[in-house]
Chains A and B, each alone.
Chain A
Amino acid sequence: MTPKERENLIKKAWILITYVVLITFALVYLTPFIRSIIASFMNWAQASRYPPEWIPNPFTLENYEKLFRLELFPRWIRNTALYAGLIIAGNILFSTMAGYAFARLRFPGRDAIFSALLSLMMIPMFVTLVPNYIIIYKLGLIDNIFGLALLGLTNVSSIFLMRQYFMSLSNEIFEAARLDGCGPIKSFFFIALPLARPALGAVAVYQFLGSWNAFIGPLIFLRSPENFTLPVGLSFAFQRAMWVEYTPIIAGSIVASAPTIILFLLLNKYLIRGIVITGGKG
């Protein structure tokens, strides 16, 4: 074997190893999802069989029917959507306003206030959890989606993201607008806001992922089952053993994770780039 042939062989072997590793791990990450989707169409007897079976027989929608027969379940979907909607709206509105002001306007204390906000990111949520519970309790908003949403209407990382975005825009555009007759508020509405669409999209998507999947907040601030969100509701259904079988829980998990997964699959190119830049969902 000549050195050239040997080198080619090593290269080919390496490519093979690469694909074996990457595909194996793709299976590791994907199989739980695939297996759940399949099992959600099985009856529990089949889904719990050992060794596992892969083709639903009989194919059944029974699990989904059971799920929606529980009156709470559609309510949980609605509550989750309401919570996510409030959080997204609040963050788009308030974080954009604040981000613009911190990036583009000059006022006394600006940088000090901004770093004060940033340093809040270091505080673990468990420190402020109990006091916030008490505040919301005193406001009479416990067990209320609006009370829960109040805590998340603005978010330091959204403000940070919007500020970075507005700082990256060219100075000259804002100066041109100034000469064309825009004061600080007009240039927010006519220039900054329309230009911020990509960043607004990013904020909306991160906040959607965060609020749709949120657990500890809803767990603590919501008390009665009809006010639960999907994650709290499903874990409640599991712990109270609402069904004898486990398959409705699996079907519920599929329903609960479908919106975020579909959104991710649709936007994966932008999302992966964005999430890498801003460093994660939380």
Chain B
Amino acid sequence: MPLFKSFSSFYEKSKNKEIVAGLSLISIAVLLNLVFGYFAMIFAFYLSFFKWDYIGEMQFVGLKNFAIVLRDLSRGLHGSYYLIAPFYTGLKNILIYTAIVVPVQTFLAIVLASFANQKIKGQQFFKVSYFLPATTSSVIISLIFIWLFMKNGFINYVFDLTVPGFQPIDWLNDKRYILLAISMVAIWGTSGHFMVSFLAAMQAIPKELYEAAMLDGAGPIRRFFFITIPMLRPMIVYVVVMGLIGALQMFDLAWVMAGASGGPGGAGYTVALDIYNEAFTRIRPGVAAAKSWFLFAIIFTTTYIFQKKYGRALR
């Protein structure tokens, strides 16, 4: 209809104004994310096919970088010395670490939240004290725990007091215990934060549900398993997924507590440390990129499988 086409210029004008305003307001944020997010990602992909030392010519090597990673894995599987199979060592450690940290911190957080989710005095005090570690830098936490984990340190003292027949352990210098020590610090650092999340989710469950269940004759234990847990499911999935993402990329704690080379017998070595070392110690950015794609694949598949099985995370 030609009659109606001509008059829309005002709307065109105000629409254009909105478009110009919108695009300029997002421009800087989008530009930065384009460069440091998308461009970097594409570059990481490109890089994984090249051999380079940051200075000289980039040399195309095809899939060689990935082959290096696979050879490392196969060496590790055949029981090579940890220094010859660093990626395998890091991967093995990080999987053990994740298998300890994620279930324990999630379980602990739920248990503590359930205890706190009653009519009790000082709930805010408990929340604040449990949350405190989450506000502190993981490096600072590690430095404090290095001291607490010393052979004549506070942690051995506490175990000595509470566990009969306990022999002092040199936690951070014993390859049997260092990963466990790091796991304990990680659990200490994050479980309180997740506990507060669970508590909030529990307090959002409508009271009527519990009242109805009570009228139906469900005791406190059955109410917990038939109402609280199912209602918490999205939050549980969220906490597990966040826990997985955090644990599989663990770097700070290991760097400080075990050192860049992973401490005694490489028992504190992680995939993240290995990527760092490839990029900045061994100066093989291409191999580092290849390894980072492996890490990405591991994180993506574990979180994807978990969410596929137990429903999508909150939000």
Contact = CB atoms under 8 A, between A and B. Distances in A.
A–B contact with Cβ pairs below 8 Å: the answer is yes
Contacts of A265: 128
Nearest to B293: A127
B33 A156 contact: yes
Nearest to B313: A279
Task: Bin chain A's interface residue count.
Answer: 35 or more
A231 B137 contact: yes
B138 interface: yes
A131 B44 contact: yes
B157 A120 contact: no
Nearest to A107: B22
Interface in A75-129: 94-95, 97-98, 100-102, 105-108, 110, 113, 116-117, 120, 122-129
Nearest to B278: A130
Interface in B22-55: 22-23, 25-26, 28-30, 32-33, 35-41, 43-44, 47, 54
Interface string B239-256: 000100110010110011
B268 to A, nearest CB: 14
B232 interface: no
B146 A130 contact: no
A64 interface: no
Interface stretch (B77-85, B98-106, B112-120, B173-181): B112-120
Nearest to B252: A215
Interface in B148-201: 148, 150, 152-154, 156-157, 188, 192-193, 196-197, 200
B176 to A, nearest CB: 22
Given A97-B26, A124-B245, A239-B259, A36 B41 contact: no
A213 interface: yes
B68 interface: no
B264 interface: no
A184 interface: yes
Given A105-B25, A249-B143, A133 B279 contact: yes
Given A29-B188, A35-B148, A184-B22, A235 B132 contact: no
Contact of A215 (B54, B138, B259): B138
A130 B296 CA distance: 14
A153 B188 contact: no
A221 to B, nearest CB: 11
B64 interface: no
Main secondary structure of the interface of B (DSSP, over half): helix
A9 interface: no
B292 A272 contact: no
Contacts of B246: 282
Nearest to B238: A279
B91 interface: no
A108 B19 contact: yes
Interface string B106-147: 000001100110101000111111111111111111111111
Nearest to A127: B292
Q: Which of A25, A95, A183, A282 has the most CB of B within 10 A?
A: A25
B200 A276 contact: yes
B272 interface: yes
B213 interface: no
Contacts of A183: 14, 17, 21
Contacts of B231: none
B15 interface: yes
A127 B296 contact: yes
Interface in A223-269: 230-232, 234-235, 238-239, 246, 249-250, 252-253, 256-257, 260-261, 263-265, 268-269
Contact of B143 (A130, A235, A268, A281): A235
B194 to A, nearest CB: 8
19 contacts: A25-B112, A48-B152, A50-B153, A51-B157, A52-B157, A102-B26, A106-B15, A127-B41, A127-B44, A127-B292, A128-B44, A130-B47, A131-B44, A154-B28, A183-B21, A253-B140, A260-B135, A268-B127, A275-B131
Interface of A: 15, 18-19, 21-22, 25-26, 28-33, 35-36, 39, 47-52, 94-95, 97-98, 100-102, 105-108, 110, 113, 116-117, 120, 122-135, 137, 150-151, 153-154, 156, 159, 183-185, 188, 209, 212-216, 219-220, 230-232, 234-235, 238-239, 246, 249-250, 252-253, 256-257, 260-261, 263-265, 268-269, 272-273, 275-276, 279-282
**What are the 3 closest A-B residue pairs judged by CB atoms, nearest first?**
A213-B137, A107-B22, A231-B139
